[in-house]
Structure 1
Amino acid sequence: MIPLMRRTIMFLNYIYKQHSYICYDVLYCYQEIWGNALFGYLMISIPFNVIAVTTLFTEQLTWMEMIIQYIIIIIHAAITVLSLFQFSRETKLLNEAKFHLVPIIQSLVIYNRAVVFGLYDINQNQSTILSLKIKYCDLFNRLTNGRKYGPNVSTVGVITNMFIFNMAITYVGIFIFISSHLDFDN
Structure 2
Amino acid sequence: MNWRSEDIWIELIRGSRKTSNLCWAFILFLGSLGFLVVGTSSYLGKNLISVFPSQQILFFPQGIVMSFYGIAGLFISSYLWCVILWNVGGGYERFDKKGGIVSIFRWGFPGKNRRIFLRFFIEDIQSIRIQVKEGLFPRRVFYMEIRGKGAIPLTGTYENFVSLREIEQKAVELAYFLRVPIEIF
Q: Could you state the TM-score of these two structures normalised by the residue count of structure 1?
A: 0.31
Q: Could you state the TM-score of these two structures normalised by the residue count of structure 2?
A: 0.31
Bigger relative CO (Cα 8 Å, ≥ 6 apart): 1
Q: Which structure dedicates a bigger proportion of its chain to helix?
A: 1
Q: Which structure dedicates a bigger proportion of its chain to strand?
A: 2
